[in-house]
């Protein structure tokens, strides 16, 4: 071998070994798909690095978009193609059943048994209602969302109200009285902002108006029922708040999604707001007109009902097509540990699915409303856990939005809506 041949061999060997190091085969690392706001994804990168350091398993992120639907599409494509990655992913609670019904989720109990992690560490009602399918545990909560009533503490006090209203009648009286007075100084002031635009958030709001004694959408032996006295009462109230009560603004049914609602309240132009817990941290941020003035309570209810909070949030699942399920579960266990959940709470204002985090002193310091959150999460109402839920919700949103705009009466809307829902259920039921 001459010098040239020797050097060539040396370079080739070096390159080959470098390539082996750099391109670790896929079966070495665990791939996690997450999306959300850019700041949230940024934080996930940090958590993934920590997971790698702590568990010795390389956790790599696939960054997904912010939008729930795009995130779902993204995952559906990979799972339909039975791809081995992502091994683990976050799911909106609203689409867990679709994934489970498609048989894309690996049951978790056998892995839980091997690890020190127990499902009793999480909110029992959440795990029971959202994370089971065909009696199997197929997901676990990363963070939970529930509808909350935010209110202006200062204004209630100013007008002599000792506590936020509990029933809708009390709520209407209080909102009307204060709004009329406040409007004399600020013509943009409104009584109540909530999510009424035609999208998933509207279904969530409707379920809360309807209350939790009898959930607004019941699927009775595969037959959806929505045309009920309580639902008509709830949808009529939603409409009445806009008109004739003039408590909620006209653009409720055209524009109001989470961020529009949050901004209206945060700029000091609303007495009450319905939103998810994420809004709390932002309301308390520098520059917020409601910093230090915001209270949190359970949403109001009808006199003969009780407060209901739609269960939202994001859950982690393990792909049935993952080739490294044991290792993937080790990462899940790490991400769901108290330590990591605490970090999500402190940094992002998320609400962990584990009650123990709410007792932590640092968490309590930044979340003075933690006790009320705990109560909210014990009052949740769940969107129907069926694989065809997204199709049903699209129909419900269309009819409800028409009721809010005054185009159709609630009773007539629910008769037609129920027919469409039953047709969907016939088409998609097993
Ligand atoms: C929140 C909830 C999610 C819900 C969505 C509706 O992101 O966590 O469950 O589907 O709001 O807009």
Identify the pLDDT of residue 34.
Answer: 96
In CATH, which of 3.40.50.720, 3.40.190.10, 1.20.1580.10, 3.30.2010.10 is domain 23-138+313-372?
3.40.190.10
Measure Cα distances from 320 to 31, 119, 225, 307, 376 in Å: 13, 20, 33, 38, 33
Written as six digits, the tokens of 284 are 């308390």
User: What's the alpha-carbon Rg for the chain, to the nearest Å?
Assistant: 24
What distance in Å separates the CA atoms of residue 107 and residue 86, rounded to the nearest whole number?
16
Q: Compute the distance from residue 200 Cα to the ligand 1 centre, in Å.
A: 7
CATH of domain 148-310+383-428: 3.40.190.10
Residue 358 CB coordination number (10 Å): 17
Q: What is the DSSP letter of 27?
A: G
Task: Flag residues of the chain having pLDDT under 70.
Answer: 1-27, 66-67, 212-213, 430
Identify the pLDDT of residue 27.
Answer: 58
Which residue of 34, 40, 68, 313 sits with most ligand 1 atoms within 8 Å of its CB, as the best mutation to test the pocket? 68
What residue's CA is closest to ligand 1, atom 12? 201
Identify the pLDDT of residue 25.
Answer: 44
Whether the upstream peptide bond of residue 86 has omega within 30° of 0, thus cis, is yes
What residue's CA is closest to ligand 1, atom 3? 312
What distance in Å separates the CA atoms of residue 313 and residue 276, rounded to the nearest whole number?
9
Residue 186: exposure state from Cβ atoms within 10 A (0-12, 13-18, ≥19) = exposed
What 3-state DSSP class applies to 61? strand
Q: For the chain, what are the domain ranges?
A: 23-138+313-372, 148-310+383-428
Measure Cα distances from 69 to 73, 95, 125 in Å: 6, 10, 25
What residue's CA is closest to ligand 1, atom 5? 201
* Residue in the block written with tokens 């799972």: 79
What distance in Å separates the CA atoms of residue 147 and residue 249, rounded to the nearest whole number?
19
The predicted model scores a pTM of: 0.84
Hey, do 23-138+313-372 and 148-310+383-428 end up sharing a CATH topology, with the first three levels equal? Answer: yes
What distance in Å separates the CA atoms of residue 272 and residue 299, rounded to the nearest whole number?
10
Q: Are strands 148-152 and 270-275 parallel, antiparallel or unpaired?
A: antiparallel
What distance in Å separates the CA atoms of residue 201 and residue 74, rounded to the nearest whole number?
21
């Amino acid at each position: 071998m001459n010098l040239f041949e020797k050097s060539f061999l040396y370079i080739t060997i070096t390159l080959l070994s470098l390539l082996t190091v750099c391109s670790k085969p896929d079966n070495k690392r665990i791939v996690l798909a997450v999306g959300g706001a850019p700041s949230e994804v940024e934080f996930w990168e940090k958590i993934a690095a920590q997971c790698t350091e702590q568990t010795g398993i390389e956790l790599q992120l696939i960054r997904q978009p912010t939008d729930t639907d795009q995130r779902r599409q993204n995952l559906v494509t990979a799972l339909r193609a039975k791809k081995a990655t992502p091994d683990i992913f976050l799911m909106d609670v609203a689409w867990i059943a679709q994934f489970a019904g498609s048989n894309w989720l690996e049951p978790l109990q056998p892995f839980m048994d091997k690890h020190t992690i127990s499902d009793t560490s999480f909110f029992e009602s959440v795990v029971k209602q959202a994370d089971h399918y065909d009696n199997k545990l197929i997901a676990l909560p990363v963070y939970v969302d529930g509808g909350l009533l935010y209110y202006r503490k200062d204004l209630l006090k100013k007008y002599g109200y000792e506590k936020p209203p509990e029933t809708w009648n009390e709520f209407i009286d209080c909102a009307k009285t204060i709004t009329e007075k406040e409007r004399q100084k600020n013509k943009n002031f409104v009584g109540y902002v909530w999510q009424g635009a035609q999208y998933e958030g509207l279904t969530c709001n409707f379920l809360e108006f309807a209350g939790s004694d009898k959930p607004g959408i019941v699927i009775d032996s595969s037959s959806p029922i929505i045309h009920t006295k309580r639902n008509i009462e709830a949808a009529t109230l939603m409409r009445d708040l806009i008109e004739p009560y003039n408590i909620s603004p006209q653009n409720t049914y055209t524009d109001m999604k989470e961020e529009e609602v949050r901004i209206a309240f945060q700029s000091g132009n609303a007495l009450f707001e319905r939103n998810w817990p994420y809004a709390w941290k932002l309301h308390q941020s520098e520059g917020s007109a409601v910093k230090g003035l915001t209270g949190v309570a359970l949403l109001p209810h009808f006199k003969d009902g009780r407060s209901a909070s739609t269960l939202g949030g994001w859950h982690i699942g393990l792909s049935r097509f993952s080739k490294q399920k044991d290792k993937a579960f080790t990462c899940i266990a790490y991400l769901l540990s108290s330590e990591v959940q605490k970090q999500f709470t402190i940094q992002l204002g998320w609400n962990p699915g584990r009650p123990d985090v709410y007792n932590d002193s640092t968490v309590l310091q930044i979340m003075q409303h933690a006790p009320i959150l705990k109560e909210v999460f014990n009052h949740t109402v769940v969107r129907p856990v069926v694989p065809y839920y997204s199709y049903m919700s699209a129909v419900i949103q269309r009819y409800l939005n028409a009721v809010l705009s005054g185009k159709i009466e609630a009773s007539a809307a629910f008769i037609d809506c129920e027919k469409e829902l039953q047709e969907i259920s016939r088409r998609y039921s097993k």
